[in-house]
Structure 1
Amino acid sequence: MKAVSLLALLPFVAAAPSEAIPARALTVPSAVPSKVKVLGVSLLGSGCPAGSADVQIDATKTLLEVTFSEYIIQTGPGTKAADWRKNCKLTLNLEFDEGFQFSTLATDMSGFAQIPSGARGLCTNTFDFTGIQGQSYYSLSLPGAREGPFTLKANPDIVSWSPCGGTAAIMNMNTQCNISPTQQQALIAVDRISGKITVNVSLDWRKC
């Protein structure tokens, strides 16, 4: 497997909102660093081989969109073990002002599933911070028979923050989809036209 790294040095200048918002009601950052740089985004896995994924970060640095063109899981005649399960690990490396932490608020993993009766698809999304013990785990079962779109929504615990006491942190997000048993013809992808899966990651900030 090859990793594809995207280097973006993006200065971010923003003022913190004048009013604090309760943590559980956050829809926009209640406090943000005055300066932040995205040092790097890397993707590694069978669902995101080099050149097959695109990463976009919005102007506020709170929304990350990753689109995949080869994150397709298939079973049935003519398929092999590598087709039955795909994964992609996204590593986000941020540098920011001292005294801040960040945490994922929500992700949406959207796709298309065509699963016959007797078969089952499963998609998972796991989050962790490098250097911090513990993970947030989310899953969506896709039992057959079904044909249509699906969305795996993850809302990581707001109390799970990156380490304090530094100016950088690394967040890891591991996604995976598989289908079983493998004898019947089945498919998981974003849709039958584009064949893409999109993951949106919202980041929230707070002072240490």
Structure 2
Amino acid sequence: MSNVMAVGGVLAALLAPTAPSQPVAVPNERITISVETVNGSGCPAGTAKVNTAADNTAFTISYSDYFVLAGAGAKPTESRKNCQLSLRVQIPQGFTFAVTQVDHQGFAYLQRGADGSQHSHYYFMGTSPTTSVAHEFTGPYTGGWQTTDRAAGLVYAPCGQERNLNVNTELRVDAGGSESGTSFMAMDQSRGSVRSVYHLSWREC
């Protein structure tokens, strides 16, 4: 059984705003993030939560019902699930932020012949969705996994405008040539300390 960490991918540009000034220290006033809307079979109402880091350098999203199954006993609809969150980010006046890196964590059990994948993209409301980043896993595989999406360049939210940050993720699993049994992938906190961490960079407007 392999237990390989999948790392890579490029986080496409979220938005192309007017270039702000030089980087400054992280604002002292605590930012707040709330889930405005939630859609998708991977995050039924009340199963996705957001928490901000005390130092304003990141926020996390945790899920409690986000997993996919394929193989013996699994329904076709259970092999692919997604979660679409619209986040309202309230930040101190005079600052703007960019997402620099996103780390996703989960667990998987893939039998020989099965495979799974994790997909994600992010964008500000009113702009075109970024290109989806995909990470592939091949069975046999048992254990934790982590994927990392890194920004090709820091692109900041427009100063003085309120635009929700949309976060879309998806999990897939395919039984493939596995003859029996069930394979699964999960991004589900009930199976351990699992979360997605969104790292932030700050600038003064």
User: What is the TM-score with the length of structure 2 in the denominator?
Assistant: 0.74
1:69/1:40 Cα in 2 relative to 1: closer, same or farther (>3 Å)?
closer
After TM superposition, the structure 1 = structure 2 runs for residues 88-127 of structure 1, keeping only pairs within 5 Å, are 88-97=83-92, 99-127=94-122
| SS state at 1:135 partner | coil
Q: Is 1:172 matched with 2:166? A: yes
Shift of 1:191: 7.8
Give, in whole Å, the separation in 2 of the partners of 1:136 and 1:156. Answer: 12
- Given residue 92 of structure 1, which amino acid in structure 2 is its aligned partner? L
After TM superposition, the structure 1 = structure 2 runs for residues 57-96 of structure 1, keeping only pairs within 5 Å, are 57-96=52-91
Give, in whole Å, the separation in 2 of the partners of 1:192 and 1:133. Answer: 30
Q: Larger RCO: Structure 1 or Structure 2 (Cα < 8 Å, ≥ 6 residues apart)? A: 2
| SS state at 1:155 partner | strand
Give, in whole Å, the separation in 2 of the partners of 1:142 and 1:46. Answer: 21
Q: Which runs of 5+ in 2 are unaligned?
A: 1-21
1:41-90 deviations in Å (ceiling 9; x for gaps):
24332111112233222223332122212111111122213210111122
Give, in whole Å, the separation in 2 of the partners of 1:64 and 1:148. Answer: 25
Aligned length: 180
After TM superposition, the structure 1 = structure 2 runs for residues 19-34 of structure 1, keeping only pairs within 5 Å, are 30-33=24-27
Q: Is 1:41 matched with 2:38? A: no
More moved, 82-91 vs 191-200: 191-200
Give, in whole Å, the separation in 2 of the partners of 1:141 and 1:171. Answer: 25
The question of whether the paired residues in 1 share the 8 Å contact of 2:71 and 2:175 is answered with no
Identity among equivalent positions (%) equals: 29
- Given residue 121 of structure 2, which amino acid in structure 1 is its aligned partner? T
More moved, 131-140 vs 188-197: 188-197
1:121-142 deviations in Å (ceiling 9; x for gaps):
0101111111233515322100
Q: CA RMSD in A?
A: 2.8
Give, in whole Å, the separation in 2 of the partners of 1:179 and 1:189. Answer: 10
Give, in whole Å, the separation in 1 of the partners of 2:49 and 2:98. Answer: 22
The question of whether the paired residues in 1 share the 8 Å contact of 2:121 and 2:129 is answered with no
Q: Is 1:151 matched with 2:146? A: yes
1:161/1:121 Cα in 2 relative to 1: closer, same or farther (>3 Å)?
same
Q: Is 1:202 matched with 2:189? A: no
- Given residue 196 of structure 2, which amino acid in structure 1 is its aligned partner? V
